[in-house]
A and B are shown apart, each in its own frame.
Chain A
């Protein structure tokens, strides 16, 4: 599903440069649910950005679903992002002047889907996250948990191969966090491949595998017994 070999990335800082990723090897199979952990500055977000094609590696190989991701034009990257990836962000990143339904439908718009069709599909996904009655509400009329559920519906709308979540519970309280995790676990049960960046141990243990990063290298890569979030809800 996802194959990364000897990935390097550095950022220029003034005259010198900061070596953030120092040769990462990682492969993820279909249906896995992986937590990427590490303290801040460990390179976990950079890794996620490269996987998400929001950033490009300096060196190394990245193959996603059999497609080598290298030297992409902006246009090609946009198409791949739309087709392969669904993003969930810590701060939700909903467009504040579009209602929940339009937010969910946005990736479908960029796929060139007809309005009628994409409204229906978006509504279907909203229903899946239990927010159908809120379809015409603007983001600022929703609670944090609801916003994140809209964001999840949006990430799912284009039926991506891989779901990338960057601290998805970082802005939520514990109870809501578990609700969201419960939801993400259900998606994984249905077969979605999911990558979660987090620094919280309890969240990490709700995944099936934990990859620990430190100073740009993988320190530890272990399979864990999944803790179901539903027992806390």
Chain B
């Protein structure tokens, strides 16, 4: 009897130990690093970005989805020539270049997906796949599934979701592996490429919403500059940080003011909708913007070279 009970418990305990590890690997490790609210939120001090906070923020600084939607809304036609050329991938022989250009191609992929250009999406997926392999994060991209989705234009929404999700998982992994420097490069590359495409669309269309989006990146560039400054002991990072500092300088004339309105809350079709009471206004001139866009172009040319 005791023997039987022993075996049953042994099997159950073994099963529990095994199943206890399922599904928790990424999230649990990350969860243990999370900040606890009371210590960090309840403060009168001005917003100061610790590295921990910046690492969390950086993941979605340059969402290709949000930028790409604005491109489409501008009414400007898709232009492949403004994107990086997948044939350039073979030129990127260092991890630094590969990571930066992985970000560049992720932004390009967002742009391509938004315009349903299924005929060229595979070559960009191949570029992403090759660069990701080059920095040992290829396991996050199920290339065969992505390619299958890309073969049908009706799947492009799913393709976008899957590729963004892959980038998110890769980003989490890099941070867990203490490779935030790589993650920073990918985000910087994607951010610059997003702004480069936006600059082109603005030059063609004069789209006001995109102009505002470029100008309000003043907040983001401060965060990027601080993050990059953590790694400037490495010459390539120091050089990139210098470029970002130059871009930050161009953002100095941009002013962002805020005013407080009334908070609103409505319930529509069972969904709660809150409308923010803090309203910001971005003040810029076309000359300010032209100066910013010129520097973006210079930095981008350097990244993809």
Same complex = no
**Which residue numbers of A lie inside 8 Å of B, CB to CB?**
none
Interface positions of B (Cβ within 8 A of A): none
